[in-house]
Amino acid sequence: MLVAPVADPDPRAAVLVCLDFDDPAYGEGVEEFVRLAESAGAARHALVRGRRERPDPKFYCGSGKVAEIARTVRDLNAGVVLFNHPLSPGQQRNLERELGRRVLDRTALILDIFARRARTNEGKLQVELAQLEHLSTRLVRGWTHLERQRGGLGKTGGPGETQLELDRRYIANRVRVLRVKLQQMQQRRAVQRRARARGGVLSVSLVGYTNAGKTTLFNALAHAKGIEADRLFATLDTTTRRIYVPDAGTVVISDTVGFIRELPHTLVAAFRATLEETVRADLLLHVVDSASPARAQQVADVNAVLAEIGADAIPQLLVWNKIDLSGLAPGDERDEYGRICRVLLSARSGAGLAELRQAIFEAARGRAIAAPVPEAISL
């Protein structure tokens, strides 16, 4: 083992590992991963970079880089090592044995953040389901009790049943219970949507990359008090409010969980009940951080998730937020047929909200929203 166990490693100190596999967006990915780590509670961190052609099958990053990580762990007295990459169960186990520290990959880190942020009962159930499905493939992480045999009758299984088998069976049973509960919640949401549909109420969902300002915009439109924070995944639980749009009547607007690059499939599956609000919406307001240099890639990442959940055919209006940071003027853009294709605004200051309400009014009155346009504004 390269690192001798330290008596009391700092649980809030983390070593971040970001490898470059010839990714043109590597720099933005590193910056985003640092913010993920900070969102998970990493008060102190050190960054280990590297460049490879392909992942190492044993350690993902190669033995030389493992030695560098070990030195950094020792210098920082870090309690955890975070990889900005998906690790196989074997790679994670090998790294933990070699480094003497807990190792989390990108998926596990995002799951940890979701577990910290979930507030409603449904959100907690969804996160637990995603965590259990992720854990089910990693039950051989080196816990010593998993190597013991266990005898007994009834609930504990037959003679000689291993603790590993018991753990797997417990997880499978718990997953079934969670899926039943979430299905019941999904059915209640379906009843509510049918009632809105019978009333002819326009349903609008806010979607976008995490930290694009969706909740701030939701609060501005609905006069709500959702949590606004300059951090990733500040909002996990879907919130729905009714708003009144002059000359168009009542509109139902929903604030949903933000998306991110390489969003774990287990999370997409677990949050499918919540994301039903997006799938069944009449109009999507795709909120974009206009001040982000990676906004084009973020738009593509969000559209990829929308396609995965079957919401890519819903009319979509691009809403460029945070123009107070990017130096753009508020307003809207229309195509050659007079259809709105983009709204520029600042949810924080309120500039451009009138144009967005006009766009919602036109959607409520049945006017088509133009297809999203590619980058057309230079900063």
- DSSP 8-state class, residue 280: T
Same domain, 100 and 221: no
In a domain, 183, yes or no: no
In a domain, 372, yes or no: no
Instruction: Name the domain boundary from 50, 81, 104.
Output: 104
What is the domain extent for residue 232? 200-364
Helix, coil or strand: residue 246: coil
Same domain, 213 and 346: yes
Reference 379, options 298, 249, 291, 275; nearest CA is: 291
Within 8 A by CB and 6+ apart from 230, the residues are 211
Structural domain count of the chain: 2
Residue carrying structure tokens 């753009």? 328
In a domain, 141, yes or no: no
In a domain, 15, yes or no: yes
In a domain, 173, yes or no: no
In a domain, 252, yes or no: yes
Both tokens assigned to 166: 């018991």
Same domain, 243 and 100: no
Helix residue ranges, H only, 199-319: 214-222, 265-270, 272-279, 295-308
Instruction: Name the domain boundary from 104, 137, 166.
Output: 104
In a domain, 307, yes or no: yes
In a domain, 177, yes or no: no
Instruction: Name the domain boundary from 78, 104, 130.
Output: 104
Helix, coil or strand: residue 379: coil
Please list the pLDDT of the chain residue by residue as tens digits (379 residues). Answer: 555 554 588 889 999 999 999 988 898 889 989 999 998 889 999 999 999 999 999 999 999 999 999 999 999 999 999 999 999 989 999 999 999 999 999 988 988 888 877 777 777 888 888 888 888 777 654 444 434 444 443 444 444 456 677 778 888 899 899 889 888 887 777 676 666 565 567 889 999 998 899 989 999 998 876 555 555 665 556 778 888 877 767 888 888 878 888 777 767 766 666 676 677 788 999 999 999 988 998 999 899 888 888 888 888 999 999 999 999 999 999 888 888 889 999 999 999 999 999 888 888 776 555 555 444 433 3
Question: Cα(first)–Cα(last) distance of the chain, in Å?
Answer: 51
CB distance 306 to 312 below 8 Å: yes
Same domain, 208 and 69: no
Same domain, 344 and 206: yes
